[in-house]
């Protein structure tokens, strides 16, 4: 997002806050970043900026950048903003010291949490992580990036970002390829009450029946049924 420095500050803030309010009311997840040309470094001296920040906080909006992103010999301003309402992930944000332009780049990384089994199969695809090795992946990514013209002064920053994303996906697909979900698993995980623990219990029951027969597995099945009932009640 970009706000021209000569545009109306008050009108922009009003529209932006209304947009954040709409996203919050409709429970939409968002990450918003850009050059807002609005110095948050003046928070303590300008009441309008303080009110703006307080309004964002009241809407559960997180401000991910709090250090100057444009530094010169005579000033240091926080004009590049990054906002998010993601409460499910730990977010790491920062400002690398790379002089690509007169603005320092900023980033935010949402740390991956172990997904629920149902979410893995939601889009009929999942990444095969069985043979994934972080060290090999990072080494391969670094070697591949070294062969690109990333951070070339003659290449626009937008192109740098596109090169970075495409290179990352190519290497990721090599180390953790996308696989299609079988029809069997797709049907199973469409049930909202089917948790990983409950599915494991059902599979254990089936294995008992196949190994010992129905009569010999009866006592074991009674124990497993009690476990399933407890899991469903939870």
| pLDDT per position as a tens digit, 25-38 | 999 999 999 999 98
Instruction: Tell which of 113, 145, 166 closes a domain.
Output: 113
DSSP letter for each residue of 110-163: E---PPPHHHHTTTSEEE--TT--HHHHHHHHHHHHHTS-TT-TTS-HHHHHHH
Please state, in angstroms and rounded to a whole number, the distance separating the CA atoms of residues 125 and 54: 41
Q: Which domain holds residue 165?
A: 133-175
Identify the pLDDT of residue 87.
Answer: 87
Identify the pLDDT of residue 207.
Answer: 75
| pLDDT per position as a tens digit, 38-93 | 899 888 888 889 999 999 999 999 999 999 998 888 889 999 999 999 988 889 89
- The yes-or-no verdict on residue 157 having pLDDT over 80 is no
Residue 120 lies in a domain: no
* Full-model pTM: 0.50
If asked whether residues 25 and 97 sit together in one domain, one would say yes
- The yes-or-no verdict on residue 101 having pLDDT over 60 is yes
Q: Residue 119 class from Cβ within 10 Å (0-12 exposed, 13-18 middle, 19+ buried)?
A: exposed
If asked whether residues 137 and 109 sit together in one domain, one would say no
| Residue 123: pLDDT band with limits 50, 70, 90 | low
| Residue 184: pLDDT band with limits 50, 70, 90 | low
If asked whether residues 94 and 11 sit together in one domain, one would say yes
If asked whether residues 210 and 103 sit together in one domain, one would say no
């Amino acid at each position: 997002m970009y706000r021209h420095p000569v545009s109306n500050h008050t009108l922009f803030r009003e529209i932006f806050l209304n947009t954040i309010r709409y996203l919050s009311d409709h429970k939409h997840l968002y990450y918003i970043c850009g050059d807002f040309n609005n110095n948050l470094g003046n928070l303590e001296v300008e009441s309008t900026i303080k009110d703006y920040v307080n309004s964002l906080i009241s809407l559960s909006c997180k401000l991910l950048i709090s250090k100057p992103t444009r530094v010169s010999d005579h000033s240091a301003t926080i004009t590049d903003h990054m906002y998010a309402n993601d409460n499910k992930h730990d977010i790491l944000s920062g400002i690398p010291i790379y002089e690509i332009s007169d603005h320092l780049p900023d980033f935010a990384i949402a740390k991956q949490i172990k997904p629920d089994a149902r979410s893995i199969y939601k889009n009929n695809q999942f990444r095969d992580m069985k043979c994934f090795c972080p060290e090999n992946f990072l080494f391969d990514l670094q070697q591949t990036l070294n062969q690109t013209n990333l951070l070339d002064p003659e290449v626009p920053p937008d192109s740098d970002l596109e090169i970075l994303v495409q290179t990352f996906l190519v290497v990721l697909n090599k180390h953790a390829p996308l696989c299609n979900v079988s029809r069997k698993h797709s049907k199973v995980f469409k049930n909202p009450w089917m948790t990983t623990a409950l599915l494991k219990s059902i599979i254990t029951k089936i294995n008992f029946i196949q190994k010992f027969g129905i009569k010999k597995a009866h006592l074991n099945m009674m124990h497993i049924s009690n476990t399933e009932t407890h899991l469903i009640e939870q």
